[in-house]
Structure 1
Amino acid sequence: MRVRGGGRAGLVGVGLAAVLVGCGGGGDTEDAGSGEASERASSTASPSSSASASASSSQQGRLAPDVLQSRWWSWAAAEPESTNPVADEDGGDCARNQPKDVWFLAGTFGTQAARSCPVPAGVPLAFPLVNRIGGAADCVLFMDGVEGTAVLDGRKVEADVYRGQAVTVEAVAGNPVTGTDETFEGTGCGLWVQLPGLDSGRHTLKIRGRAGEFSTGVDYTLTVAATS
């Protein structure tokens, strides 16, 4: 299956970025907008083993790289542009379609944004700094020189480097992330962050990502309600 065009071209990782491919296609790709061997990194990428990454993530109660990317991309592609979390200008749509076990954050289609979002207490957060879906060769090129930072309440947070995992994405018609309502498979990669649930109160999270000429950034104000 070859994914049809229609999504926004370029990168959007916490600005999603995607070159979407069909089953078995590595060279025949089309651009569409939206954003693993796992390794800890503060802002730059370096290689690691995907097998050990999945095992480590599972043991620590974190989502494995392939699971995280599949679920996040499907979440990002689950809304049309008018209510899509990547196109969201102020955070008004950040709560849409959130699962119960993790709270996803989105980036932009290459712009800077400021968003305010309520976050449930005790739920971990997950988001990319910059990311992509394509073929294996696409991810090799993409990961050469990507960089990004996440700063939570003034302190830098380490990012995981995911260099290439098989992911499956489910999308709805009219979404600006993939531009298709088809379920497709591809290789996911990028810089990703998973955080434990935040303490009650207000938190600031600044996310920046860059890949080549593409850059994205979001300043989040996250408000966590006090537990009863």
Structure 2
Amino acid sequence: MRFTAGAAGLTAVVMVALAGCGTPAATGSESPERGASASTAPEREDARLSSAELQGRWWTWAASEPEATNPVADTDGSACGRNQPHDVWFLAGTFGGQVKRACEVPGGRPIAAPVVNLLGDPQDCAAFMSGARGTVLLDGEAVEPETHEGDPITVRGAPGNPLTREEGNFAVTGCGLWVQLPPLAPGKHSLKIRGREGDFSTSVDYTLTVTAPPDRA
């Protein structure tokens, strides 16, 4: 991740997940097909999030823990299950550099992660996206990242988190390259994400163990 100063104490952050900004941020403000393969379970109709929902929810998730237990600062995957929502499984990035993580993922859950991304204002995002590059490999097969040029979002930060640096709600613009995967088939999977923008680069090698989906009978 790359940090630049933001208004009202918000830190704008560049992140890559697995490895992973509108108006200036303000504290206290209220928020505003991939075909199936051997690696994937049958797709659900609700497996994909809209650009704004994806970015707003992911950044809030990433800012939900202090640095000691934050999934972006995680060095081995031990924090990957913290504060996960019920309908999607988020994967986190690094603050720059490379890590390897092992993570257990519930069966039947779609997966979402940034490749390289930013919080800031529209001008920040325009400059950032002109140089953003990234690749994703799922079990050795290339997955094309999604491009999200910029969406007004609200990010909610928990006390002591290393992203917003402050507790509260922040109105910002989110942009970046992202990947959304339908639920993976039970078993072990390899997910490799590489991202770069300018002199910032990040990568994460994930070993994902997907459990059997719950019995809905």
Pairwise TM-score range, normalised by the shorter structure: 0.7 to 0.9
Q: Deviations 1:18-72 (Å, cap 9, x if unpaired)?
A: 799325xxxxxxxxxxxxxxxx9xxxxxxxxxxxxxxxxxx86511000000000
Comparing both chains, which one has the higher relative contact order based on Cα–Cα distances under 8 Å and sequence gaps of 6 or more? 2
Question: Percent identical across equivalent pairs?
Answer: 53
Listed as ranges, the gaps of 5+ residues in structure 1 are 24-39, 41-58
Distance 2:23 2:193 in 1: 24
> Within 5 Å, which residues of 2 pair with 1:12-161?
12-14=15-17, 15-16=19-20, 21-22=24-25, 61-161=47-147
Higher share of residues assigned strand: 2
Listed as ranges, the gaps of 5+ residues in structure 2 are 1-5, 27-33, 35-44
Q: What RMSD in Å do the two structures reach over aligned CA positions?
A: 2.1
Structure 1 residue 180: deviation in Å? Answer: 1.0
- 1:20–1:133 contact (8 Å) kept in structure 2: no
TM-score of the pair, normalised by structure 1: 0.79
Distance 2:67 2:110 in 1: 26
Q: Deviations 1:161-217 (Å, cap 9, x if unpaired)?
A: 000111110011100111111201111100011000000000000010000000000
Size of the aligned set, in residue pairs, is 191
- In the other structure, the counterpart of 1:4 is 9
- 1:163–1:189 contact (8 Å) kept in structure 2: yes
Task: Give the aligned residue type for 2:9.
Answer: R
